[in-house]
Amino acid sequence: MRWNNLLIGGVTFVVAIAAAQAPASFVHRKKYVMGTVFEIVAYGESPAQTSDAIDQAFQEIVRLDNVMSDYKSGSDLSRLNRSASLQPQPVPPDLYRVIAEALFYARLSGGKFDVTVGPLVDLWKAVLRGERAPAPAEEARLRGCVGYQNVELLPPDRIRFRSPCFRIDLGGIGKGYALDRAADVLRSRGISCALLNAGGSSIYAMGAPPGQAGWLVHLRDPSNRIDPQVTLSDSSISTSEQTPPSLLSRESAGHIIDPGTGMPLQTQFAVSSVAKTATASDALSTTLLLLGPVRGAELVNSVGGVAAVWVSAGGQSKLASSGPRIVLPALAHSQPNSGLAGNLASQSGVTPR
């Protein structure tokens, strides 16, 4: 069950898209799915055709929700969670693929990104809602139910869990995967210019608006001083941020759990990551938040075609890139050339203005 007052994301960012100077024909649609609002803006030959293509893309997202949801008891993932510890379970191609991608990022991050952390997330969500107090003994027990190494892929289509209390939660990657597949649908319907947004936490940009080099995206800036920006074209941005602390209580829990400690992550940073696919940017943003700016920058450098920016509420920022260019206009005077592959442009500790 999902309480109405539950903060699911806690991730924020701002996107500004420079469209054509002349009025262009675009269609903008929204749909509530996967517990959030998906939006698609697309330019096409005719509004009616574009609207139809968007509808098809939304249908793809709904289909994937029925595959990847751990909330819907009838989803393919729920069935897998119920029975994969008993024997290997055949799963649909999409589920196999997204879990394989999730395990890739789990290995890449040394376990910081872990789709098996669900039991601990549930525990801390209850704490966050004030339904219960933290329970160290239960937390210790549930930590034994976490560990991506216990998920076994059996090509081409079967998955087995090596632990009886295992559960996969694709919340850190599923929306990104859905954006990529929705973009595929738009392409198949002749759309080459669109922006797909999953609840504000992940965006995939296809092509560029008429007359523009790409979709200009203003990234999350908790300090309101840095204004990081990126121009996206056939690439994606995702943002992760821990739940803000309570205003009226000292007891505060966040929704992002560090699998290493079993506890809510303590960080002042929001992080935005740019990658070629939304699946990658979605997984990376959570990973990079958990790793923090120093180890996160090392990870960004170790994989190609990725960029990230960490910004704290106090105005600290750190930029890392192995390809895509994120610009920090407020720090332009001190920003090195960050567009080169493998370059790390760090402004850690800078307090601008």
Token look-up 């941005």 returns 237
Q: Which one among 3, 93, 190, 298 touches another protein, defined by CB under 8 A?
A: 3
Residue type, 108: L
Separation between Cα atoms, residue 165 and residue 120, nearest integer Å: 12
| Positions 37 through 96 that interact with another protein (CB under 8 A) | 37, 39, 41, 47-48, 50-51
Among the candidate windows 75-83, 126-134, 289-297, 325-333, which touches another protein by CB under 8 A?
A: 126-134
Residues in binding contact with another protein, number by CB under 8 A: 60
17 binds another protein (CB under 8 A): yes
Which residues are paired to 37 by β-bridges?
A: 32
**Closer residue to another protein in complex, CB, 49/163:** 49
Name which of 302, 310, 339, 347 is nearest 323 in CA terms.
Answer: 339
CB of residue 88 to another protein, shortest distance in Å: 32
Q: Which one among 81, 197, 321, 347 touches another protein, defined by CB under 8 A?
A: 197
CB of residue 128 to another protein, shortest distance in Å: 8
Are the beta carbons of 200 and 14 closer than 8 angstroms?
Answer: no
Q: Which one among 119, 176, 199, 262 touches another protein, defined by CB under 8 A?
A: 199
Q: Residue 316 contacts by C-beta under 8 Å, 6 or more apart in sequence?
A: 223, 268, 269, 310, 347, 348, 349, 350, 351
**Closer residue to another protein in complex, CB, 73/83:** 73
| Positions 211 through 270 that interact with another protein (CB under 8 A) | 217-218, 220, 239, 244-250
| 3-class SS of residue 271 | strand
- Using CA atoms, how far residue 309 sits from 106, 142, 273, 302, in Å, is 20, 32, 7, 16
Name which of 290, 287, 296 is nearest 319 in CA terms.
Answer: 296
Local structure of residue 246 (DSSP, 8 states): P
**Closer residue to another protein in complex, CB, 111/315:** 315
CB of residue 273 to another protein, shortest distance in Å: 15
Q: Could you list the residues that contact another protein (CB under 8 A)?
A: 1-5, 7-28, 30-32, 35-37, 39, 41, 47-48, 50-51, 129-131, 133, 195, 197, 199-201, 203, 217-218, 220, 239, 244-250
